[in-house]
Amino acid sequence: MRWSKGIFMLVITNLLIFFTLAISGNILIHFVLPSFGIDLRGSVVTQDFAWALIFGFGGAFISLWLSKFFAKRGMRMQRVEQPSTPKERLVFNTIQELAGREGIKMPEVWVYMDDVPNAFATGPTRNSAMVAVSSGLVQNLSDAEVKAVLAHEVGHVTNGDMLAITLLQGLMNTFVYFLARMISRPIMARNHFAGFMVYMALQFALSILAMIPICWFSRRREFRADAYAASAMGADPMIRALAKIDALAQQTLTSQHREEGMNEDALATLKIHGQSRGLGHLFATHPPIEDRIAALRHRT
C-alpha cells in the first residue's frame, strides 16, 4: 500500500505543478511582462521559448523545493533532534560540528530504516537542507568511517550541489521542451494528433539525451564531495567507508533482489552509493567506487 500511496502522491503533485506553471505562465506572459514593456505574445518562437523556460526551470525548482518533503515520505524515517544513543550523538554532533565550521544552518538530521549502508543530503538551499543516514550505515561502519560519510554529505550541502544540478536540469528541460515543440509544430499544424504524438516522442528521446550532461555533473559532484570529506576527516576513513559500503550494499541488494524482486531506488541519485553503471557510464549517476577510491588515494 505504501508504494501505491507514493505513486498517487507523485501523480497528484505533478498535476498540481503542471496547473500551477500553466496558470502562472499565462499571467506572466499575458499580463506581467507586457506591463514592463516585454511582449512575448506576438512571436511564436519567442512564446514557445518562454513557455519552455517556465516549464523547464519551474518544474526543476518546484521539485527542488519539495525534495525534503518527498524524501521524508518516501521511506520510514525518524528525525534526530535530541540524540539519545551513542550512534545518534555521533551523527548529530558530527553534522553540527561541520555545519558550524562552514557557517551554515544546521541541516535536519534523519535516520531511516534500511539494512543497506547509505546516506544522502537534499534540500532547496545550503541553509535549508537535510542529511539522512541508513540504520545499516551506523551499524556496520566504524565511527571514523561514519564521520567521513557525513562529511561527504555535508560537502554536497556546502558545495551547493542541489541547486547546481537543479539549474542544469532546468536548462536541459528548457531545450527539450523548446526543440520538441519547434520540430513538431509544422506536423501539428497539418494533423494535431500526429503532431502531438511526434511531440511526445521527441520529448521522450530528447529527455534521455539530456540525462547525459546531468549524469556527468552528478558524477563530478561525487568526486568533489569525496574530496571535501577527505580534507575534513582524512582520506583513509573515506576510502575504507566507500569500500565497505560498496561490499555490504552489493551483498544486501543482491539478496533482496533475489528474495523480493526489488525495483531501483528512486533516491539512488542522491545517495553516497548509487548507480555506477550505465551505457558506457553515460547514464551512471555515480562514478565507480574504484575510481573514487583511486582519486582519494591520489590525494594522500
- In the β-sheet with 128-134, what is the strand arrangement from edge to edge? 77-79, 108-112, 128-134, 119-125
CA–CA gap between residue 147 and residue 95 (Å, rounded): 8
- Length of the chain in residues, anyone? 300
Q: Of residues 108, 145, 153, 222, which has the active-site annotation?
A: 153
Residue 212, C-alpha cell as written in the block: 547525459
Instruction: Report the sign of the C-alpha dihedral through residues 212, 216, 217, 219, in that order.
Output: positive
Question: Are 48 and 182 contacting, i.e. CB atoms less than 8 angstroms apart?
Answer: yes
Residue 171, C-alpha cell as written in the block: 536548462
Whether 153 sits among the annotated catalytic residues: the reply is yes
Residue 27, C-alpha cell as written in the block: 499571467
CA–CA gap between residue 281 and residue 220 (Å, rounded): 13
Strand partners, 109: 131
Residue whose C-alpha is closest to residue 44's, from 222, 186, 228, 194: 186
CA–CA gap between residue 70 and residue 133 (Å, rounded): 16
Helices (H), ranges, 234-270: 235-260
Instruction: Report the sign of the C-alpha dihedral through residues 282, 288, 292, 298, in that order.
Output: negative
Calculated CA dihedral for residues 252, 83, 98, 64, nearest 10 degrees = 70
Residue 157, C-alpha cell as written in the block: 550541502
CA–CA gap between residue 231 and residue 237 (Å, rounded): 11
DSSP tag of 212: H
**Catalytic residue annotation:** 153
